[in-house]
Structures are given as C-alpha cells and as structure tokens.
C-alpha cells in the first residue's frame, strides 16, 4: 500500500519528465525563447506565428512582475469595492470546494462504507477502486465540457448533483436491506458530480477572475483558505457525524451544497472566453468602482514606452520688440554751408 501510494507516483513523475515538454511560460521566463517556440508549434496549427504568443507571454510576465512589486498587501487586506467583490468570488469558490466535504468524505470512505453495512475488507477495497476510477473518468470529461459549456453551468449542475447525492447517502442510513447499494450509488454520484464542476472549476475560476495586480497574492490566499477549510472539515468529520448521526450529517452537508449553490448563482460570473481585461471591467461595472481600471492603467502605462507620449513643446509667441521713440531728423540749418566755409 505504501509503495502504491508514495513510491510509484514518484517514479511516474520522474519518468514523465523525459517525455513532457517544459511550459512555454517557464522557458520564456528563463530567456529560452527558441525552445518556447518549439513547444508552442506542437500546440498550434502549422504555419501559425507563434512569435506573437511568445511576445504576449513576455508582456504578461513583465506586467505581473511590475504588479507584484508595486502592489502591497493593503489591496488584499483593505480592498476597494471592486477588489473586494473579486476576492469574494475567487476565495469563496476555493473555500466552497472543501465546504461540500470532498476531502473529508474521501478520507473516511472506509468508515462510511462500514457504517452502511459493508464489512468485508475486500469489498471495501474494490468499491474504493471503482469510485476512484469514476472520479478520474469524469474529470477527463469535465476538461472538455468547461470550454464548451462554460464554467457557470457546470458549477451549478455540480452543486445541485452533490446535494442530491448526499441526500441519497443520508437515506442509506435510514433504510433497511437496500442501504448498502444506496450508499454506494449515492457516493458514486457524489464523486461524479463533484468532478464535473467543483473539482476542476474551483481552481480554474480564481485564476480567471483575479486581476493581474493581485493574482499572485490572491491565489495564495485562496489556496491557503482552501486547505484550512479542508483541515477543519476533515478533523471534525467523525465527531460531528457521531454527534448528529450519519443520516443527519449527510442531510446537513446536502443543505450546505444548496446554500453554496444559491451563493454561486448570485455572485459567480461566466468567465468562458473572456479576457482578463473584461473581468476587471465587469467587477468595476457591478460595483461602480473604477479604481481597479485606473490602477491598472497607471501601473502599466509607466512601464510601456508605447503608451508614453513626450510632452509637446510649448511654442512661445514671438515677442514684439518695443518701438523706440526716434526723434525725427532735423534739416540742416540754411547757413550750414556758410559755417563750413568759414571753418
């Protein structure tokens, strides 16, 4: 079990480095643009000018570097209305992923199966393998659906399905002979519905809604809160379930999924096919706070020479020389020639 869970994945990751290319972004950041172009040619169709993509990656890296050093933690700790709404969506989605109980349920699947009446260790192991394969297969399907159907519809379907699945699991602890089959069916549905939306979507959405100015810091906050929520849910799972009964606990979790569904319906925007600039505009419009746009423009304008315009020289009007009062020439006196002759 230790070799399968710890040693084997290490070997798989190590050998995958020989066939898996480096990220184009990482290569560009290391000034290896030629290698980045070769990797991009594997992704884009023949004849596509990947040099444009490389230049865009360079610009993005430069902007993110500027933002990381120019913006402090005050924008996270004391955000404006637009940044506050952005953090609410991104960090809230990361918390919601664990609030539905995924890690806690996976950690204690054996206990749940035992409580539902499945005592055979071999049967439990077989069920765990089947549930894991279901989760893996649905995640692959979700990868294709997210770009076709959008993020918001899959998140809504995922949360509604999780709520119904957990309710089915709760009923398995109340029923009689059919409780074992109902528990397995409910758990399989739960893992499938989680993997179709909340699994991959909870990491995709924060990366798309956070502005470049706060992306690094905001993603660290989202990840931290995700793991804190997972720790709380996992550490209190058994004690709460024993205090409330298993059926009561899963009914409570079903209600939590419905509450998160209502929250997502109100606050979660659709990010499919929308560039980062549009998301900043979206949060600025719904909150009436344009400071986010002004801050980005100010931040990037000072580093982009193309946006810099030299001040036009001020043309001074020609100064008119003051007219001097010149006395008119006096005609020579009539006896001048006489005086000259005498001289």
Alpha carbon distance 293, 82 (integer Å): 10
Question: Closest Cα to residue 271, out of 37, 90, 121?
Answer: 90
Do 59 and 79 share a structural domain? no
303-343 pLDDT, tens digit per residue, is 555 544 444 444 444 555 545 554 455 555 444 443 343 33
Between 79-93, 96-110, 221-235, 284-298, the lowest mean confidence (pLDDT) is in: 284-298
101-143 pLDDT, tens digit per residue, is 999 999 888 888 888 888 888 888 999 999 989 998 998 898 8
CATH for 179 = 1.20.1250.20
Amino acid 149: pLDDT? 86
Amino acid 175: pLDDT? 60
Tokens of 246: 């298993």
What single string gives the DSSP state of each residue in 84-114? HHHHHHHHHHHHHHHHTTHHHHHHTHHHHHH
Is 136 domain-assigned? yes
Do 40 and 162 share a structural domain? no
Do 52 and 171 share a structural domain? no
Domains identified in the chain, total number? 2
Do 141 and 56 share a structural domain? no
Instruction: Give the CA distances from residue 131 to residues 106, 125, 183, 238, 266, in Å, rounded to whole numbers and listed in that order.
Output: 10, 10, 12, 21, 32
Helix (H) or strand (E) segment spanning residue 286: helix 276-287
Is 182 domain-assigned? yes
Does residue 104 contact residue 237 with C-beta atoms inside 8 Å?
yes
Amino acid 185: pLDDT? 92
Q: What residues contact residue 65 under an 8 Å CB cut-off, 6+ apart?
A: none
Residue percentage of the chain with pLDDT more than 90: 27
Do 113 and 48 share a structural domain? no
Helix boundaries (H) for 71-178: 74-77, 81-99, 102-107, 109-115, 121-149, 151-172
Amino acid 299: pLDDT? 60
Do 94 and 189 share a structural domain? yes
pLDDT at 158 > cutoff 90: yes
Amino acid 330: pLDDT? 52
Please give the model's pTM, rounded to 2 decimal places: 0.72
Amino acid 287: pLDDT? 81
Does residue 184 contact residue 282 with C-beta atoms inside 8 Å?
no
* Domain interval for residue 127: 74-297
Does residue 180 contact residue 116 with C-beta atoms inside 8 Å?
yes
Which class for 116: exposed (0-12), middle (13-18), buried (19 or more C-beta within 10 A)?
Answer: buried
């Amino acid at each position: 079990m230790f070799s399968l869970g710890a040693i084997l994945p290490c070997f798989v990751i190590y050998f995958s480095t020989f066939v898996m290319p480096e990220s184009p972004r990482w290569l560009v950041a290391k000034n290896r643009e030629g290698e980045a172009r070769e990797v991009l040619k594997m992704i884009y169709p023949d004849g596509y000018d990947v040099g444009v993509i490389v230049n865009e990656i360079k610009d993005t890296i430069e902007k993110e570097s500027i933002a990381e050093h120019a913006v402090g933690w005050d924008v996270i700790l004391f955000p404006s209305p637009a940044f506050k709404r952005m953090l609410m969506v991104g960090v809230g989605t990361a918390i919601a992923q664990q609030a539905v109980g995924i890690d806690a349920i996976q950690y204690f699947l054996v206990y749940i199966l035992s409580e539902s009446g499945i005592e055979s260790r071999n049967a439990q192991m077989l069920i765990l393998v089947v549930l894991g394969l279901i989760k893996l297969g649905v995640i692959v399907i979700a990868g294709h659906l997210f770009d076709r159907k959008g993020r918001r519809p899959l998140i809504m379907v995922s949360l509604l399905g999780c709520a119904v699945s957990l309710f089915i699991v709760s009923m398995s602890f109340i029923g009689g002979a059919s409780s074992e089959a109902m528990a397995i069916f409910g758990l399989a549905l739960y893992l499938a519905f989680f993997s179709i939306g909340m699994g991959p979507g909870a990491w995709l959405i924060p990366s798309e809604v956070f502005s470049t100015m706060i992306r690094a810091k905001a993603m660290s906050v989202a990840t931290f809160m995700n793991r804190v929520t997972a720790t709380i849910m996992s550490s209190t799972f058994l004690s709460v379930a024993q205090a409330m009964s298993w059926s009561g606990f899963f009914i409570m979790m079903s209600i939590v999924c419905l509450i998160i569904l209502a929250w997502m319906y109100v606050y979660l925007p659709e990010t499919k096919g929308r560039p980062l600039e549009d998301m900043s505009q979206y949060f600025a419009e719904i909150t009436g706070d344009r400071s986010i746009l002004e801050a980005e423009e100010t931040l990037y304008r000072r580093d982009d020479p193309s946006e810099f315009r030299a001040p036009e020289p001020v043309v001074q009007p020609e100064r008119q020389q003051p007219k001097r009062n010149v006395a008119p020439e006096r005609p020579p006196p009539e006896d001048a020639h006489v005086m000259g002759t005498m001289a």
